[in-house]
Amino acid sequence: MSSVTIALRECHRLRVHLRNLKAEIDRGPRVLQDHQDELETARQDHNVHYEAITKLKLKQREDEGTLKQTETRLAKLEEQLTSISVQKEYTAKQHEIEMARTKKGESEDAILATIMELEEKTGAIPAVEQTWAQAQADFTQFQVEAAERLEGMKSDQGACTEDLARHEATLLLDVKAPYDSIVKAKGPDAFAATKARVCQACRTSMTESQFIALRNGTFRTCATCGRMQYPVE
């Protein structure tokens, strides 16, 4: 295999790999933001649970206050009933008493429902705390792994850049000039493997003699897509 073929093949591989590395590194801040958003959602869920408990306790106190007021009024109404002798007033007072009893029952039902919901949410606290702790642990683990991955990619990026420069230095001047021009225009897509006389980028065929020359190390660009070609089995 000629030095030109080896150089073009390796330059193609390295430039594609470097592009992928850069895309992955550039994607890092977005991935971090996604994980931060997940952590923030978990934090909000954690806070919402405790806020719900606080609101339930406040509602219970308010309902208990309403119940106490209703009981006091009911006792007063029942006391007043004993001193009424006029039937019309007696009937009206009985209606007030019935309304107060209904309100008392509603307050008692509300308090019971609140107590049951409060017990349920209080009982769920261990699971809520475990979920929040796991979310924090997962984010911390992600940060550690992301930092290690970034360090590895940057190290790989540096090594590939050096390797690319080494292969490009083997290109003769009559090849390096068009190489630089095409790479500047197309980047990692400046190359095309050619198999069985067919350009693998645009599927254009070449003659047998052209393919033999390419295999023998002749520098060639595809007549259709303009990419630098190198042969592959």
Interval 120-135 mean pLDDT? 98
pLDDT at 4 over 70: yes
Please name every residue paired with 191 in a beta bridge, in sequence order, or none if there are none.
228
Interval 134-157 mean pLDDT? 98
What average pLDDT is seen over the chain? 96
Write the pLDDT tens digit of every residue in 79-112: 998 888 889 999 999 999 999 999 999 999 999 9
82: three-class secondary structure by DSSP: coil
pLDDT at 1 over 80: no
Domain ranges of the chain: 18-170, 171-233
Angle between helical axes of 173-186 and 3-81 (0-180°, round to 10) = 20
Dmax (CA) of the chain: 127
Interval 199-205 mean pLDDT? 96
Interval 130-158 mean pLDDT? 98
Residue whose entry in the numeric block shows the structure tokens 């330059």: 11
Give, in degrees to the nearest 5, the angle at Cα 185 between 180 and 189: 90
Write the pLDDT tens digit of every residue in 51-74: 999 999 999 999 999 999 999 999
The pLDDT value recorded for residue 2 is 80
CATH dotted code for 18-170: 1.10.287.1700
Beta carbons of 7 and 171 less than 8 angstroms apart: yes
| CA distance linking residue 195 with residue 226, whole number of Å | 16
